[in-house]
Amino acid sequence: MAFHVMLVPTLSCPARCSYCWSSEVGSPVMNIETIKEVVEWLKDFKKEPVTFTFHGGEPLLAGADFYRQALPLLAEGLSHLKTAFALQSNLWVLTPELAQILAKYNIPIGSSLDGPQELNDLQRGKGYFEKTMKGYEIAKANGLKVSFICTFTKHSVKQKEEIFNFFLENGYNLKLHPALPSLRTDEPEKWALDPEEYGKLLIYLMDKYLENLGKIEIMNIDHLCKAYFTGRGTVCTFVDCMGSTFAVGPEGNIYPCYRFIGMPEYIMGNVRDHPSEADLARSDAWKLMHQYKDHVDKECGSCTNIKFCRGGCPYNAIVPTGGKIEGVDPHCKAYKMVFKEITDRANEEMFGSFGMDPFQPAQRRSARPSIMSLINKR
């Protein structure tokens, strides 16, 4: 199975999004020696193909010289691992020079926009929208493919229709992200999206997606349906990510995922020591991640979604409780709601009235768009 290494060149970021939990003012920037150590570390680490995602903070702050050297070092030094790349950036500091370097490696970019300018800038800071769109134009002009991640907060979920229409009308594909409690502020829940609201949002977007099939892609809905119908998760949230995902911070420390970067208790090793999997497995963070997996087997054992949900994201479950495993991903409620909706719709479409809510008016049922059309699209 392919594995995933997230490279975080810095936790610094020029933006100041209200709900951010992953940037750090004055964070160091990775130097090219660390990339050389990554190559040495991974040469014999695993035999499977590897995808590198540059993440942040804002990864492009590392500059053109960094990418000019890092990309060939990784691609050629690890050519036996069929390296692929991706990048997550707000695009503010993208220059034509940087775009050309990234385009040589066909790097797909994920960027962030929360909807129309006014709403986006309310959540992400004044001027954000314009700076991202300027970078987007540079990316497009250089043949780079950009998809947008839209963070829905407690505030913006009330404008879900306006947000959906913004993405539809502009022809942008959409991946949504629920705002998480920010553990770096005094009010962690201020922007966080409540799990039930998140579940309702997913079901709402499923309807909108089906009504507009062929005009927009909503990646989360694709992933949820694919997971349900194949019985296997296709994104990290819905598989056991431990052991197949790693992240390397600016100073070469290795963590289970980029979300843990900057938290010393989650360091599993450092790339300069070229640790094997067995070495990493001796760290407390590795053990905790695997304890979470065992916990999911027990706590989710009777849930019909277990095969393609796997207890959701361990970060969401472990970090807000200060490193104690007290339950599964708090978004469980949302996952149950959306998987039940997919099950009911599939049953309804395949077996007529079987599995339907008898109290639901027949007219409304038949008016619903068909979920099978989404499956056939895949």
Query: Which of 120-128, 167-175, 207-215, 233-241 is the region at the interface with ligand SF4 (rule: CB under 6 A)?
Result: 233-241
Instruction: State the minimum distance, in angstroms, from the CB of residue 132 to ligand SF4.
Output: 22
Q: Is the dihedral of CA 318, 125, 198, 51 positive or negative?
A: negative
Q: Measure the CA–CA gap between 206 and 219, rounded to whole angstroms.
A: 11
Query: Is 88 an interacting residue with respect to ligand SF4 (CB under 6 A)?
Result: no
CB-based contacts of 234, cutoff 8 Å, min separation 6: 223, 226, 227
In the complex, least distance from residue 75 CB atom to ligand SF4, rounded to whole angstroms:
23
Q: What is the CA radius of gyration of the chain?
A: 21
Which is closer to ligand SF4, CB of 144 or CB of 300?
A: 300
Select 99 or 257, whichever has its Cβ closest to ligand SF4: 257
Given the complex with ligand SF4, which of 3 and 67 has the nearer CB atom? 3
Contact between 303 and ligand SF4 (CB under 6 A)? yes
Single out the segment in contact with ligand SF4 by CB under 6 A; choices: 29-37, 106-114, 324-332, 358-366. 324-332
Find the binder of ligand SF4 among 150, 203, 216, 300 (CB under 6 A).
Answer: 300
Looking up tokens 């913004």 gives: 166
User: Per DSSP, what are the bridge partners of residue 269?
Assistant: 254
Q: Rule CB under 6 A: is residue 149 a binding residue for ligand SF4?
A: no
Please calculate the CA angle 104-106-108 and round it to the nearest 5 degrees: 140
Q: Give the footprint of ligand SF4 on residues 246-265 (CB under 6 A).
A: 257, 259
Rule CB under 6 A: say whether 314 interacts with ligand SF4: yes
Regarding 312 and contact with ligand SF4 (CB under 6 A), the answer is: yes
For ligand SF4, the closer CB: 122 or 236: 236
Q: Is 305 in the site for ligand SF4 (CB under 6 A)?
A: yes
Under the rule (CB under 6 A), what is the footprint of ligand SF4?
Answer: 236-237, 241, 245, 257, 259, 300, 303, 305-306, 309, 311-315, 328-329, 332, 335-336
